[in-house]
Amino acid sequence: MNRAILALAAVGLTGGCSTQATQESATTGDAQAATPRAAQATPARPSQPAATVTAAATAKAVPGKRSVYYEYDKSEITPEGKKLIEAHADYLRAHPGVKIVIEGNADERGSAEYNVALGQRRADGVSKIMTLLGVREDRIETVSFGKEKPKAAGHSDAAWSENRRSDIVYR
C-alpha cells in the first residue's frame, strides 16, 4: 500500500513539469508496474503538445562546446575544430531561423592591430566552413575582438591557449 501511494505521489510531482516528457514516461511506467490494478485505473493525464516536446528536444541539440581553438599565430582550423564547426552547422541547417555571431579572439601577445586582424581571419575561417556546409551567409556575422576579450586571465601558455579562439554565439 505504501509503495502505491509513493508511486502515485511521484507521478503527481513530475506531472507539472513540461520539460520532463522522457523522464515522466519512465516514471509512469515504473509506477504502473509497482501499483495494483485498481490504482492503474486512474485517468492518465493528457499527453504534451508536440511543440513542447519538440522545443525540449531542440534545446538539447545545440552543441555545448562553442569555442574553436588555434595554435599560436595561426588561423588554420584543426581537425577537432572542424568537427565542432560541423556540429554547429548541422544544428543551424536544422534550425533555419537561428543566426550566429562568430567572435574571433587572440592572446595578448602582438600589437592591437595585428591581433584584431588575426581574430578576424579566425572568425572568417569558421564562417567560410559553415557556408560550405550549407549555412546561408546572411545568418552568420563575424567580428574580431583581438586581445580585448580574454577567456583566461594570466600570462602563461595555458592562458594564452584559451584566448586563441573563435567563439560561436547564438542570437
pLDDT in tens, the chain (171 residues): 444 433 333 333 334 433 333 333 333 444 444 444 444 444 444 444 444 444 444 445 789 999 999 999 999 999 999 999 999 999 999 999 999 999 999 999 999 999 999 999 999 999 999 999 999 999 999 999 999 999 999 999 999 999 999 999 999
pTM metric for this prediction: 0.66
Angle at 108 between CA 105 and CA 113, to 5 degrees: 70
Contact 116, 75 (CB under 8 A): no
Pairing verdict, β 165-170 and 100-105:
antiparallel
So what's the pLDDT on residue 28?
40
So what's the pLDDT on residue 60?
52
So what's the pLDDT on residue 21?
38
Nearest alpha carbon to residue 39 among 14, 66, 3, 75: 3
Angle at 71 between CA 68 and CA 75, to 5 degrees: 65
